[in-house]
Structure 1
Amino acid sequence: MVALRSALVQKREATLFAGCGIVADSDPQAEYKESCLKLEVMQRSLSKNNTLMEIHDVSPVVKNPVNATYAYVQAFVDELQRANVHNVVICPGSRSTPLAIAFASVTTIHSWMHVDERSAAFFALGIAKKLQQPVALICTSGTAAANFLPAIVEARLSHIPLLVITADRPPELRDCGAPQAIDQNRLYGSFVKWFSELALPEATDAMLRYVRTIAQRAVGMAQAVPAGPVHLNMPFREPLVPQPSTEHAFPAPEARNAQAWQGRANNQPYVAISDPLPGLPSPARILQLLQMMCQARRGLIIVGPQNQSTLIGPLLALAQRLNFPILADPLSQLRGSKNEWILSSYDAFLRFPQVVHATEPDFILRIGAMPVSKPVLLYLQHYAACPQIVIDGQMGWEEPTQLVSELIHTDPTAFCQQLQSCLESLNVNQTSSETAWPTLWQRLDQCTQKTLETAIADFTEPFEGRVFTELSSLLPEATTLFVGNSMPIRDMDTFFWCRDRDIHILANRGPMALMAWSPVLWAQVQ
């Protein structure tokens, strides 16, 4: 007796086992084919040095489906690639066999195999986070789907487009003691933007139009602002393998609607979806905001986690014109630019009460999510009466302080460009009029960084912060660095300083604990 999928590994050799559950009405040939498919998944997983594998095989079966299930799933997957889904992470399983085979047949979609569902979900999340594109994630029925939840929660909080597709048993095998069956409807609750239980597969014009529409709707919903995960639950009856079935006869080729079966011409989506970005404030409101900013003599820009690489140019131009220093969170995508207006050592020097006292702001513009730094949060709370405006491009509520005077849902890059354009047309430039305020922040930043560098050089004990001082010097151009939550991202906030290299920094939001500071190092910094 063996498990449905198992292996005996001895040194550099592995013996693989695969099997199927046999019940009274089992078809021996179908069960054998299913066992072979399970075995093939394991063989593929071991074909490289790690558990991730890119599938290159193209199945001719799906191109000429032999049963209703494969006609239905082929139309669904075809529509996903038309919606610009280019990556799918597949977890092994029996009930999801039609999906796995259909995805593997499409050369325009990268298929990745991952045997562990929790790891697979975070792997899919990482791809979507890096590419800012929707990624599909599939698994079999039962508790396999439950392992996706942590990554789905992260995707919802971080506004990452994730298309979660769970295979399921048909209605007659639910809530009746059938194996590998749980209630998968709305399994992820409010952590997904949208849920749909799809109809059982049928090879009719109406049902193929239906499943193509669902595919486009799901991708569109995942990408619409605020982006996030969606969940499709897809029930399948046997046969799960591509073998002929007499249960649902195909319509004759001449009776099939070309758009339903083959999709629209020129690889166009069946339903084109347009979701415009949040609009800019009215011209009158822009002028009011500019008046507030120009009257400020101690303005500050705080940029939290955000993923727009286009923000840096317009933001720097705006900061220089207004004389507003920029506090750049490690996830702001600004620390790849070494510029005197971009500060990265604030997490250390804002811990000193005398520094907080000397840097009272009279206007704060905050962009993106709430920064990682606890001292920044305490600084904002200390100056609770200071006017604070938040620019949120994800139509959310990134405001845990309860101190913001105005929250504007708009695209941050376009907003900064609009302000800069208005400043130019009005010929407003405060750069030469008042330099004491930005100079104070810049000197604090430079002095703190030098002090930390000296302290770390003299610190002989192992210390986590040194990891990030080394990385900031060693990482090459165009590197993507993924940092763990809690202590790692907080250490990075303090010890990863600006460099003139394009480094894309990502992290999962997670429940981040407060950073514990080393008393010895802190004494040396003081």
Structure 2
Amino acid sequence: MGNQLALTHYLATFIEGLVRAGVEDVVISPGSRSTPIAILMEEHPTIKTWMNIDERSAAFFALGIAKASRKPVALLCTSGTAAANYFPAIVEATHSRVPLIVLTADRPHELRDVGAPQAINQIELYGKYSKWFVEMALPESTTNILHYAYSVATRAVSTSLSSPAGVVHLNFPLREPLLPNLEELQWNLIGIEKAVYSHAKQSLPEELVPLIQEIQDKKKGIIICGPHDQEAFPDAVVSLAEVLGYPVIADPLSQVRSGTHSKECIIDCYDTILKSTKMFQAMKPEVIIRFGAMPVSKLLMQFISQSDVSHQFIIDQDEGWRDPTFTGTHFVHMNEIDFCHQVSKMVEAVPQARESEYLNKWKVANEVVKPILRSKLTDFHFEGDVVRHLVNLLDEDMSLFIGNSMPIRDIDTFFFAQDRRIRLFANRGANGIDGIISTALGISTRVKRVILLVGDLTFYHDLNGLLASKMHSLPITVVLVNNNGGGIFSFLPQAKEEKNFEQLFGTPVDLDYEKVVSMYDGQFSRVSSWGEFEEAVSISFNSKQLSVIEVPTTDRSQNVLLHRQLWDQAVQQLDGLQEI
């Protein structure tokens, strides 16, 4: 009885510490060794528990909740390979800077390395992908140990949020009996409050001031906004661009392409513009100011790499080193919004007219390309049209989650700047195709409506994730682009290796996804025209369940030709411009 009471007090105190430090959600997978933590999580009056049977799906589901809420989410599983199945999502969370608190139950020390079942080495299981690892003390109810449990919990939350945000792993060795004593359950046994603070530098470094003054004389400057999700950032960066007279090269995941802020300086067709060798050479800047992760566009990365700039400022409040091109000259570790505001004030304080000839050249090129990218193609095999039709159907404040490979690249090309506020998500930390459905469903717990745009192989890769929609009544619209294989490889050099291409890269699976969707109580539509597509998508927005709209575009080679037809037309028009 004493051990059971100690177990209850110890774990309840730890859970209370998580909650008081700001944790609102925990995603639980079933298991025996984690029983007492799971039961006490369920008993807590304010914490929201989500059951997700498959640990890999559970981890990505938690990732989605954390992305949407911008708050740390706890994960709980039993011992053994259950914990190992978290690893792909932990890698993504680390690279995407998403706060997760991973709680793994474990065998007590006497049952390790002796052949006990479901016992693996869980000490620092995630290696460098965890910011902080703690092998928790065995449960006791002494005052010092209860303070220890509470302190570790609050520190775990703080550490997961501190720059850069990421993963904390706490491993709990637990002895039997594993049932808590609910009759003696009390919250906040130690009777203390503990505040947890996280902050980022807010002042412009003094040594940067003369450099900012120096770049005011540089007329050929660009601002590059990569994947970034920070409220009020779009307004701040647009204001900075307007006072500097610089174009904003806005990745779709920067959240800068949509919203009520000014779009006057925003360039959204840069990837197509840079396909013109003439433009690539003519538009090289003298100054680059860069925010966020590296952009989706490979051409834009090459443009950064090959631009011989005197100053490239990389602004990152999380103190990272996002510079795979090795061209950054100044790394500024401060809040991105504060940087925009402070530099804007400095520039405005100098009374001079901002010449915008360079900006106007970008705008002219953008205006030439956009109508071509919007032009109609009658062929139903063109996957770019999925984006063009889908975006027109989205309502204000909807969220679009984009799968990797071709969907994110088509979004980069065909999602244009607009006044509707559409929040865009993707797992671009490690750029993998695993866990996409689960992440999108996690996001759906916190936003108005999620539309998932995904390819067939990515959809197949996370079919287990669909169970969360059924278990928790989470409605979501899935637009499934089915080209029966890996469409992106058709754009790559290996497509020329016809002998082995389909076996090694095309990988057709010939699956009927309607049967899978039915198994999870979802609605399924297979469309054969854009009229049918628009109708099915519009109907799905009002559905209270999983809705999957499949767009069969099985001719992958034709899709490549149609993309290149638009790009070639755009390049021809750009190369004919006299003023560039």
Q: Same fold (TM over 0.5)?
A: yes
Q: Is residue 448 from structure 1 mapped to residue 375 from structure 2 by the alignment?
A: no
Q: 1:152 aligns with which of 51, 69, 90?
A: 90
2:415 alignment counterpart: 496
* Contact 2:200/2:318 (<8 A) preserved: no
Please say if 1:426 is aligned against 2:350: yes
From 39, 63, 66, the counterpart of 1:101: 39
> What residue is the counterpart of 1:522 in the other structure?
564
Corresponding residue for 1:319?
Answer: 241
**Whole-angstrom distance in 2 between the partners of 1:299 and 1:159:** 28
CA RMSD of aligned residues (A): 2.4
User: 1:355 is aligned with what amino acid?
Assistant: M
The alignment status of 1:483 with 2:435, answered yes or no, reads no
Matched, 1:389 2:313: yes
Aligned to 1:190: 128
Instruction: Say which SS state the counterpart of residue 301 (structure 1) adopts.
Output: strand
Once the two structures are superposed, residues 490-509 of structure 1 have per-residue CA deviations (whole angstroms, 9 ceiling, x without a partner) of 22111111111111111112
SS in 2 for 1:360: coil
2:198 maps to which residue?
275
- Post-superposition CA distance 1:240-273 (Å, at most 9, x none): 113599xxxx9xx9xxxx9972432xxx32xx33
Aligned length: 443
Q: Does 1:177 align with 2:93?
A: no
Letter in 2 for 1:311: F
Give me the whole-angstrom Cα distance separating, in 2, the residues matched to 1:423 and 1:321.
7
Q: Distance in 2 between matches of 1:284 and 1:116?
A: 51
Tell me which residue corresponds to 2:257. 335
Contact 1:369 1:392 in 2 (8 A): no
Aligned to 2:189: 261
Look up the match of 2:385: 466
The aligned counterpart of 2:164 is 226
Which residue, 414, 425, 428 being the options, matches 2:338?
414
Q: Matches of 1:503 and 1:259 in 2, distance apart?
A: 40
- Change in CA separation of 1:65 and 1:74 when aligned onto 2, cut-off 3 Å: farther
Q: Distance in 1 between the 2:203 and 2:390 partners?
A: 38
Q: For the residues of structure 1 that align with 2:313 and 2:182, how far apart are their CA atoms?
A: 63
TM-aligned CA deviation for residue 129 of structure 1: 1.0
CA shift in 2, pair 1:429/1:203, >3 Å: farther
Tell me the percent identity.
42
C-alpha separation in 2, matches of 1:274 and 1:229:
17
Aligned residue number for residue 209 of structure 1: 147
Aligned counterparts of 2:19 and 2:203: Cα–Cα separation in 1:
32
Alpha-carbon displacement from aligned partner over 1:313-345 (angstroms, at most 9, x marks no partner): 221111111110000011101011361211111
Contact 2:17 2:154 in 1 (8 A): yes
**Partner amino acid for 2:372?**
T
Once residues 123 and 207 of structure 2 are traced to their aligned partners in structure 1, the CA distance between those partners, rounded to angstroms, is 48
User: CA separation of 1:124/1:259 partners in 2, compared to 1, >3 Å: closer, same or farther?
Assistant: closer
Single out whichever of 181-190 and 99-108 deviates more from structure 2: 99-108
Answer yes or no: is the 8 Å Cα contact 1:209–1:260 preserved in 2.
no
CA contact (8 A) 1:65 1:71 kept: no
Corresponding letter in the other structure for 1:350: L
Q: Which moved more, 1:361-370 or 1:82-91?
A: 361-370
For 2:190 and 2:57, how far apart are their aligned partners in 1?
Answer: 35
The residue identity in structure 2 corresponding to 1:451 is I
Q: What stretches of structure 2 of length at least 5 have no aligned partner?
A: 433-487, 493-558, 570-580
The residue aligned with 1:435 is 356
In the alignment, structure 1 segments of 5+ residues that lack a partner are: 1-29, 31-63
Contact 2:213–2:347 (Cα < 8 Å) also in 1: no
1:124 maps onto 2:52 in alignment? no
Q: Check if 1:377 corresponds to 2:301.
A: yes
- CA drift of 1:76 comes to 0.7
Cα deviation code 1:439-493 (max 9, x no counterpart): 1111211221110111xx2241322222221232111111122111222212211
Letter in 1 for 2:199: P
Kept in 1, the 8 Å contact 2:146–2:190? The answer is: no
Q: 1:284: how far off?
A: 5.1
Partner of 2:7: 69
Say if 1:289 and 1:152 are closer, same or farther in 2 by CA, change over 3 A.
same
SS of corresponding position for 1:145: helix
Matches within 5 A, 1:225-244: 225-243=163-181
Residue 279 of structure 1 deviates from its aligned partner by: 4.0
Give SS of 1:67's match: helix
- What's the CA shift string for 1:179-238, capped at 9, x where partnerless? 111110100000010000001101111111110011011111100111100100001111
- The 1-side partners of 2:335 and 2:419 are apart by 26
TM-score with structure 2 length normalisation? 0.73
Q: 1:470 to 1:293 in 2, by over 3 A?
A: farther
Query: Is residue 2:219 matched to residue 1:297?
Result: yes
**Rg larger for:** 1
Residue 248 (structure 2) pairs with residue 308 (structure 1) = no
Q: For 1:261, what is the secondary structure of its paired residue?
A: coil
Distance in 2 (CA, whole Å) between partners of 1:290 and 1:242 is 60
The residue aligned with 1:80 is 18
Relative to structure 1, the CA distance from residue 65 to residue 113 in structure 2 (aligned partners, 3 Å threshold; closer, same or farther) is farther
